[in-house]
């Protein structure tokens, strides 16, 4: 692979970030089956309640992180389509500085500031 090819570098960066995020989700989802089997709600529910809250928090974080994976997948699709680096809303170029900070950004700064765009990376 030609390292001088910006598209190849961008693809590598996106795939690396995607892999890191999926690994993080896997870590959030990993738990000791013995811990779950020993959950009891007798007189002292504190430990079990704390564990349940922790699991719910992990599940929420995993869902949030998976939305980033979906945004990375969409960026890879834009890369394949030749539209990567262009705002999906207005079609203007997304500044290189923004793409360096958030390589999967789909919106330029002005479009990301508009109300109702919260599901797309700002």
- pLDDT tens digits along 80-106: 999 999 999 999 999 999 999 999 999
Same-domain check for residues 58 and 102? no
**Same structural domain, 45 and 94:** no
Strand partners of residue 93 = 86
Angle (nearest 5°) at CA 63 between 40 and 93:
165
Judgement on whether residues 61 and 100 belong to the same structural domain of the protein: no
CA distance 71 to 83: 14
In a domain, 78, yes or no: no
Residue with tokens 């089956």: 33
How many structural domains compose the chain? 2
Are 34 and 61 found together in one domain? yes
pTM value surpassing 0.85 = no
Would you state the structure tokens that stand for residue 89, as one six-digit string?
A: 């809303």
Q: The domain containing residue 13 runs over which residues? A: 6-70
pLDDT tens per residue across span 8-67: 999 999 999 999 988 887 776 655 544 444 545 445 556 667 767 777 777 777 778 888
Cα of 26 vs its chain's centroid, Å: 13
Does 50 reside within a domain?
Answer: yes
Residues 23 and 60 in one domain: yes
Q: Give SS3 for 85.
A: coil
The two tokens of residue 22 are 């999926």
């Amino acid at each position: 692979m030609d390292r001088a090819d910006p598209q190849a570098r961008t693809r590598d960066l996106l795939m690396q970030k995607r892999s890191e995020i999926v690994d993080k989700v896997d870590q959030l989802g990993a738990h000791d089956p013995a811990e779950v089997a020993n959950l009891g709600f007798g007189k002292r529910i504190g430990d079990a309640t704390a564990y349940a809250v922790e699991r719910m928090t992990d599940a929420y974080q995993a869902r949030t992180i998976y939305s980033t994976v979906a945004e990375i997948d969409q960026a890879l699709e834009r890369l394949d389509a030749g539209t990567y680096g262009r705002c999906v809303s207005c079609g203007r170029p997304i500044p290189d500085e923004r793409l360096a900070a958030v390589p999967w950004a789909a919106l330029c700064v002005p479009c990301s500031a508009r109300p109702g765009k919260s599901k797309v990376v700002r």
